[in-house]
Amino acid sequence: MSDSETGDAYQFEFVSIDGDKLPLAEWRGRPVLVVNTASFCGYTPQYRDLEALWRRYQPRGLVVLGVPSNDFGEQEPGTASEIKQFCETNYQVDFPLTEQYRVVGGAAHPFYRWVAAQLGEAGAPRWNFHKYLVGPEGELAGAWPSQVKPTDSAITAEIEGMLPPA
């Protein structure tokens, strides 16, 4: 295995929807929920739940990171500015978003190739709004498919266990 298939999530960097560098190492010591998103999907209303998680847990350290992807059903065809405007206007999204990335296959962003190496191909995203929780040490601490809402107790219990008491 190469270093990018081992190691931790902090080795990866995205580019924000505004074009700035977004290294995961910036959030070392904090849990990060990474979610591949799309604007025109049956699961798109999960943006509301992701924003609720962000507002609830961000003061205690949680980071929610949306990764727009057009990989599934071509449900994220927009430009960065169109995606950002859609998310802010329709869901008041305030959590960080990346530029659009591939999340499956050989051309996937290295973070998603690392996830597949950690979990096996079955752990790669199968559709939009697949959720991965990165623990404070950069480890992959949880994965949930699209149909599991971001506010599901399985996810919030994992997050709660990684945060300081309220």
Q: H or E element: which one contains 56? A: helix 46-57
Contacts of the segment 18-24: beta carbons below 8 A, 24+ positions apart: 18/80, 18/84, 19/80, 19/99, 22/65, 22/96, 22/98, 24/111, 24/134, 24/138
Find the catalytic residue in 9, 24, 35, 41. 41
Per-residue tokens: 79: 């430009």
Strand partners, 131: 35, 144
Hey, how many other C-beta atoms are within 10 angstroms of the C-beta on 166? Answer: 8
DSSP string, 100-119: P---SSTTS-HHHHHHHHHH
87 carries an active-site annotation: no
The residues that are catalytic are: 41
